[in-house]
Amino acid sequence: MGVDAGTVYAEIRVALDKLQHDVNEANLLFVDLGKNVDKQNQQTASSTQSMAKKISSAFQSMSKNGINQFSRLAQGINSAFMVLPNLHSEIFAD
């Protein structure tokens, strides 16, 4: 039994139509995947920006606190040196 060219052509057309359908479905899946990736990237960027602001604020606060503590230390040392002459005269008073 022979197969004519029309039958072969029809079978190839059906196979190609199925292949095109599969390609279209794969393209839609990639589009959906791209949308999900874009959404996740936006969320990550937003979270990173928020975290950076919090970290920056914390470092500024630490810097201000450090300066305040250093200032208090300097004031304490200054007060200690101011007491020294009085202490010296009390110890060596005749």
What are 7-62's pLDDT values in tens digits? Answer: 888 889 989 999 999 999 999 999 999 999 999 999 999 999 999 999 888 888 88
Considering the entire predicted model, what is its pTM? 0.47
User: Residue 84 — very low, low, confident or very high, per pLDDT cuts 50/70/90?
Assistant: confident
CA 48 – CA 46 distance, rounded (Å):
5
Q: Quick check: 91 pLDDT over 90?
A: no
Q: Quick check: 66 pLDDT over 70?
A: yes
CA 16 – CA 8 distance, rounded (Å):
12
User: Residue 94 — very low, low, confident or very high, per pLDDT cuts 50/70/90?
Assistant: low
